[in-house]
Structure formats: structure tokens, C-alpha cells
């Protein structure tokens, strides 16, 4: 007689699914879900997923859904029946589906679906449809190591200090009642702007996952802004918007206004057929200031636009790009830029949750007390800088920097930033005072972002005794080679032909490439074909007399006048 092996009983087969809660049906959430936990067969790892009610109509439908979610397929038919019974059972635990991360009451919902703070009502959970543009907020290494290896760079750059504090201020916007907005750090390439963006990004995750490029679609940027609600948004490379200056100016103007205003333009089924809404702190970078971009495209700036996202010159004035000093063991700003890139891609993701944990605890303990301290800190900043309270524009500008100062000071108090409040004030105050020269001026006077380093070259070109080779055939080759600047015809254009060593000595290596590339793009500097920038061979009386940087006289003169 054939003997059949006895199958394992249902009781011996461990259930790998657990019902955690159900959603509450409402006008904003017409589809019901079950919130479940799926554990691996070893019981070591688990994932939490939302299962739509339509998947519960039969055991086979649920099986398909669970397998798509990564459930172990090596289980019996009887197991799937038990799993179905587990998930459809009654429960009084309810969750609220949310379409964006951020504050819900006194609880903060992160992009990884973890709620920070004690949940007193229904637990907030991100809707499955809301996860398309969520940033990846991974953590690598501890907060202690981030404080040792990344944060201290802010002590060598007021611009980096501003970036860090701008990030923390995003968590305070709702509490303060301020609209979204922030700062646009502008200047030549290779000046260190992206270093600021990297350090800011490292609060929440790896820079490669957190930094967003400006050249997304309008709809895409709106969805990205929603995904960063009640937090901060890092936008890099505004030069990528459009090759046409007028088009780029209009695109930038509209996007700055939309992002800071916190309201989208198109209705979406994802947001209950309403427009998307958000509140973010913005930190942007680009080669031109927003004023310059508007002026270049002859676009009239909208009222209040220049105080929503404020231009801050990336050049800190110490001939080291964004840096005012160098840490011990670092010999150049270029070396420091590479050190920051390495550090921020190794230590990240610990500062944001640490700050939010303390902030939410304070809010849940005494919300009004936190609000009063926030308002007091803003007033302290305004009083210290003697802001004219009768000027609405000056007050709004100062408040944008003030909330960054308060946020940075809170991060110091919470043990997230290894500085003093005085360090924070010094960095923010420096950026504030530098920005006033630009923000309160007319846009037409700021058309060239060349900075102080180009002034010496301009001074040489403005001298009265320049050697002019045009129509002059009595100059020796020796005299030509000794002259720092000559006037000559090159490619049919009258140019200032400047000795290449003079240019290299005047322009710091960290800024040289960016400045010369920009001048070539603007048609001020001639270059060889298919080169981003270059020197040109000077020919005099049919003989080559050396390569020089050739600035078209009319265009450089116009630049000097402006």
C-alpha cells in the first residue's frame, strides 16, 4: 500500500502578513485601503504596504497583490486563505491617507512614511499615488560623524552657513506663518556654488538624490515641490533653463513665483481635482542673478518677486569663491570644493530627522511657546540690523534671513549644528548685508556677474597708452610681446588682445574657466571654433606674434560702462 506524506498543518505555517490599520472613507479619499505589514520568511525584515479594498474580493486577487509586494511565494493554498482572513478582519485602528509629507497637526510625516512625534489621532500615511516625486532620504553614517566631517565647513563660508540654515527654516514656515521662498546663490562656475547645495542636501540624504535641476517641466516642478512640502528644495543650474535669454527669463520668473507662492497652476486628480499646494524653503544656484536674468531678457519683474527668492552673490570677496577662509590642511578653494563633495557623499541623512525630532517634541509640549520664541528671534535679527519698519520690502528681505538665523540657532540648541549662535549670526548677517546691495538696486545696473576679480583686467584695458597696431606697421615683435594689452584687428573685429599670463594672474584659478566661458557666450571674448573659450593667435605683418585673449572692444567697453 502507497503511503502519503502528511502535509504540514496550517498551524505550523507561520503567517507573514499582519493587519495594522484601515483607511477611513471620505470625499478626499474615496478608495478604501488596508494597511498591512509583510515579513520575510526568516522574520528578519518587514515592509509596510497599502492594499486596496478591491484586492480583497477573493483569495486569488489578494494573492496576486501580495506577490507583487514581495511576499514569499512558497506557501500553501491554505496559507493564502488564512492571509485573506487576517487582512479582511475588523479593526478599530485607522490611518489617514495624505498626499504630501509634512506637518499634520503636531505630527511630521516624512517621505519614508515614518511619523515623527506622538500620534494622538489617526496616523498619517502617504497615499500610494503621492510617491512619484518623493526624494530619496537615506541615511549614511551617524549625526556625530556628520557634525565632525561636514557641518564645520560652514565656519569657512557664510554662503554655506546660509544654505544650512535655509534648509532648517523650511520646517518653521508653517509655524511662523511666512510664505515660501529663499535664496538664489549666483556667480561664475567653479566658484563653489554647488558645494553649498551639496551640504544643504546632506541634511536629508545623498546630494545625488536630493538636489533637483531647474530644467524640469512646470508640472514636474510642482509635483517635486509638493514632495518637499514643509521642508526645503535645492535647485541647481538655472543656466539649463533655455538657451534663449528671453525665454529663460520668463521661465525663471514664473517658476520662482509659483514655487514660492506654494500653489500650482493645473488641477490634478491626485489632489482631489484641485491644484497642488505646498510650502517650501528654496535654495537655488545659477551663473546669473535673477535680476540679471530678468534684465537680459527685458522682462519686468513682478511685484515682490525680488523678496521671495533673494539674490546672494556667491563671491564672498576673499578671492576664494564662496569661502572666506580655508580649514587647516587645505591649500586652495579648489581642493576644499573636492573635499566637500567627498564628505557630503559619504556622511548624510542624519541632521534632518534629528532636528525634526526635537522640534516636534517642543511643539507637542508647548506650541505657543515655540511660536513666541520664533517671533522673538526674528525681531532680534531685525533690531540688530536696524531694519526700517516703514519699508515693506526691507522688512520682508530681513525676515527671510531672520528665519534662517532662528532656524540655525535652534539647530545649535538641539545639538544638530556644532557651532554657537554667534557663528550662525555672523554667517547669516554677512550674506544679508551683501545681498542688500543687489536687491535694493535697479536690475539694469547688474548685467554682468564677473565679480571683483575681473576689475584688474578692465583697468589695463582702460589705460590711455595702449599699443595700437591698427594702421601701424612700425612696431617690433619685441614691443608687441612686452605689451600687456594691444589693440588689433582679429577675425575682422577690433579687440583688446590681452596677454594670457596677465589674465591668468588676475583671475583666480577657481573662477577663470567660468568667467571666460561666460564672456565667450556673451560674445565679448573671441574664441577658436568649437571651443568653450580660448586664446587667439595674433598675426602682425603676416607673422605670428603669440596667442592672447581677445576681447571685442565695443562689447567690453559697453560692459565697462554698465
pLDDT of residue 6: 42
Q: Does 4 map to a domain?
A: no
Question: Same domain for 271 and 363?
Answer: yes
End of a domain among 131, 159, 175? 131
Residue in the structure block whose three cell numbers are 517641466: 217
End of a domain among 441, 469, 498? 441
Question: Same domain for 17 and 71?
Answer: yes
CA–CA separation, 116 vs 137, rounded Å? 15
Residue 382 near residue 172, CB atoms below 8 Å: no
Question: Same domain for 222 and 333?
Answer: yes
Among 241-245, 348-352, 358-362, which is the least confidently predicted range? 241-245
> What pTM does this model have?
0.74
Record the cell numbers describing residue 490, joined without a space: 582679429
Q: In the predicted model, what is the mean pLDDT of residues 468-497?
A: 94
pLDDT of residue 226: 93
pLDDT of residue 2: 42
Question: Same domain for 414 and 502?
Answer: no
Question: Same domain for 431 and 457?
Answer: no
pLDDT of residue 31: 82
Among 98-107, 267-276, 409-418, 436-445, which is the least confidently predicted range? 436-445
pLDDT tens string 382-431: 999 999 999 888 999 999 999 999 999 999 999 999 999 999 999 999 99
Question: Same domain for 336 and 411?
Answer: yes
Quick one: pLDDT band at residue 155, thresholds 50, 70, 90?
very high
Q: Does 419 map to a domain?
A: yes
Question: Same domain for 238 and 314?
Answer: yes
pLDDT tens string 59-91: 999 999 999 999 999 999 999 999 999 999 999
pLDDT of residue 28: 62
Q: Does 1 map to a domain?
A: no
CA–CA separation, 316 vs 368, rounded Å? 38
Among 101-105, 459-463, 478-482, which is the least confidently predicted range? 459-463
Quick one: pLDDT band at residue 508, thresholds 50, 70, 90?
confident
Q: Is the pLDDT of residue 442 over 50?
A: no
Q: In the predicted model, what is the mean pLDDT of residues 276-293?
A: 90
Q: Does 92 map to a domain?
A: yes
CA–CA separation, 162 vs 196, rounded Å? 9
Rg of the chain over Cα atoms, rounded to whole angstroms, equals: 30
Q: How far apart are the first and last CA of the chain?
A: 104
pLDDT of residue 8: 46
- Listed in order, strand segments (DSSP E) in 89-135 are 94-98, 102-104, 107-109, 115-116, 123-126
Residue 96 near residue 22, CB atoms below 8 Å: no
End of a domain among 441, 466, 488? 441
* CA dihedral sign, ordered 207, 211, 213, 214: negative
Record the cell numbers describing residue 407, joined without a space: 532656524
Helices (H), 76-185: 77-88, 143-149, 158-169, 173-176
> Residue 494, exposed/middle/buried by CB under 10 A (0-12, 13-18, 19+)?
middle
Q: Does 446 map to a domain?
A: no
pLDDT tens string 211-230: 998 888 888 899 999 999 99
pLDDT of residue 531: 85
Question: Same domain for 417 and 492?
Answer: no
Question: Same domain for 151 and 92?
Answer: no
pLDDT tens string 520-558: 888 899 998 888 899 999 999 999 999 999 999 998 988
Adjacent-strand bridge partners of 41: none
Q: Does 190 map to a domain?
A: yes
Q: Is the pLDDT of residue 152 over 70?
A: yes
Instruction: Report which DSSP code applies to 154.
Output: G
CATH number at residue 162: 3.40.50
pLDDT of residue 448: 44
Question: Same domain for 430 and 475?
Answer: no
Residue with the larger pLDDT of the pair 444 and 113: 113
- Listed in order, strand segments (DSSP E) in 438-554 are 467-468, 485-490, 493-499, 536-540, 543-552
> How many domains is the chain partitioned into structurally?
3
pLDDT of residue 445: 35
Q: In the predicted model, what is the mean pLDDT of residues 170-198?
A: 94
Question: Same domain for 148 and 30?
Answer: no
- Listed in order, strand segments (DSSP E) in 117-270 are 123-126, 181-186, 212-213, 231-236, 263-268
Which structural domain, as residue segments, surrounds residue 97? 11-131
Residue 206 near residue 346, CB atoms below 8 Å: no
pLDDT tens string 29-48: 678 899 999 998 888 888 88
Quick one: pLDDT band at residue 5, thresholds 50, 70, 90?
very low
Quick one: pLDDT band at residue 296, thresholds 50, 70, 90?
low
Q: Does 544 map to a domain?
A: yes
Question: Same domain for 433 and 306?
Answer: yes
Record the cell numbers describing residue 171, joined without a space: 520646517
Residue in the structure block whose three cell numbers are 478626499: 28
Cβ count near 355 (within 10 Å): 23
Q: Does 5 map to a domain?
A: no
Collapsing DSSP to helix, strand or coil, 157 comes out as: coil
Amino acid at each position: 500500500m502507497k503511503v502519503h506524506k502528511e502535509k504540514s498543518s496550517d498551524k505550523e505555517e507561520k503567517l507573514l502578513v499582519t493587519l495594522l490599520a484601515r483607511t477611513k472613507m471620505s470625499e478626499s479619499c474615496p478608495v478604501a485601503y488596508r494597511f498591512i505589514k509583510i515579513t520575510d520568511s526568516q522574520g528578519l525584515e518587514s515592509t509596510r504596504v497599502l492594499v486596496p479594498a478591491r484586492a480583497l474580493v477573493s483569495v486569488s486577487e489578494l494573492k496576486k497583490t501580495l506577490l507583487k509586494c514581495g511576499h514569499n511565494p512558497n506557501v500553501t493554498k491554505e496559507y493564502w486563505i488564512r492571509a485573506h482572513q487576517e487582512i479582511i478582519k475588523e479593526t478599530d485602528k485607522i490611518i489617514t491617507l495624505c498626499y504630501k509629507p509634512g506637518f499634520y497637526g503636531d505630527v511630521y510625516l516624512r517621505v519614508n512614511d515614518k511619523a515623527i512625534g506622538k500620534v494622538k489621532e489617526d496616523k498619517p500615511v502617504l497615499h500610494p499615488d503621492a510617491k512619484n516625486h518623493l526624494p530619496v532620504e537615506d541615511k549614511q553614517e551617524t549625526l556625530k560623524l556628520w557634525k565632525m566631517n561636514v557641518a564645520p565647513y560652514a565656519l569657512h563660508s557664510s554662503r554655506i552657513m546660509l544654505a544650512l540654515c535655509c534648509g532648517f527654516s523650511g520646517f518653521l514656515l508653517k509655524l511662523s506663518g511666512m510664505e515660501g521662498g529663499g535664496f538664489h546663490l549666483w556667480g561664475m562656475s567653479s566658484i563653489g556654488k554647488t558645494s553649498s547645495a551639496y551640504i544643504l542636501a546632506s541634511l536629508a540624504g545623498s546630494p545625488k538624490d536630493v538636489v533637483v535641476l531647474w530644467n524640469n517641466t512646470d508640472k514636474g516642478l510642482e509635483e517635486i515641490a509638493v514632495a518637499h512640502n514643509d521642508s526645503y528644495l535645492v535647485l541647481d543650474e538655472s543656466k539649463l533653463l533655455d538657451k534663449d535669454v528671453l525665454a529663460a527669463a520668463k521661465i525663471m520668473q514664473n517658476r520662482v513665483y509659483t514655487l514660492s507662492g506654494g500653489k500650482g497652476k493645473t488641477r490634478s486628480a491626485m489632489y482631489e481635482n484641485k491644484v497642488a499646494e505646498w510650502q517650501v524653503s528654496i535654495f537655488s544656484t545659477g551663473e546669473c542673478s535673477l535680476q540679471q536674468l530678468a534684465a537680459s531678457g527685458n522682462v519686468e519683474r513682478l511685484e515682490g518677486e525680488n523678496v521671495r527668492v533673494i539674490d546672494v552673490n556667491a563671491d564672498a570677496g576673499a578671492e576664494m569663491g564662496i569661502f572666506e577662509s580655508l580649514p587647516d590642511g587645505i591649500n586652495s578653494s579648489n581642493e576644499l570644493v573636492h573635499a566637500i563633495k567627498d564628505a557630503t557623499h559619504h556622511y548624510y541623512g542624519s541632521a534632518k530627522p534629528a532636528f525634526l525630532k526635537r522640534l516636534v517634541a517642543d511643539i507637542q509640549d508647548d506650541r505657543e511657546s515655540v511660536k513666541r520664541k520664533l517671533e522673538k528671534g526674528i525681531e532680534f535679527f531685525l533690531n540688530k540690523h536696524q531694519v526700517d519698519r516703514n519699508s515693506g520690502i526691507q522688512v520682508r528681505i530681513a525676515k527671510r534671513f531672520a528665519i534662517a538665523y532662528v532656524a540655525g540657532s535652534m539647530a545649535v540648541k538641539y545639538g544638530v549644528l556644532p557651532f554657537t549662535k554667534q557663528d550662525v549670526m555672523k554667517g547669516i548677517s554677512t550674506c544679508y548685508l551683501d545681498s542688500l546691495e543687489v536687491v535694493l538696486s535697479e536690475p539694469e545696473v547688474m548685467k554682468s556677474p564677473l565679480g571683483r576679480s575681473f576689475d584688474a583686467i578692465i583697468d589695463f584695458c582702460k589705460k590711455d597708452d595702449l599699443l595700437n597696431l591698427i594702421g601701424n606697421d612700425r612696431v617690433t615683435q619685441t614691443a608687441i610681446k612686452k605689451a600687456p594689452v594691444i589693440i588689433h584687428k582679429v577675425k575682422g573685429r577690433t579687440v583688446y588682445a590681452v596677454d594670457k599670463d596677465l589674465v591668468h594672474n588676475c583671475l583666480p584659478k577657481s573662477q577663470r574657466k567660468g568667467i571666460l566661458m561666460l564672456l565667450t557666450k556673451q560674445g565679448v571674448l573671441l574664441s577658436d571654433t568649437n571651443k568653450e573659450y580660448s586664446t587667439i593667435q595674433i598675426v602682425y605683418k603676416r607673422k605670428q606674434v603669440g596667442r592672447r585673449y581677445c576681447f571685442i572692444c565695443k562689447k567690453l567697453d559697453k560692459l565697462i560702462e554698465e
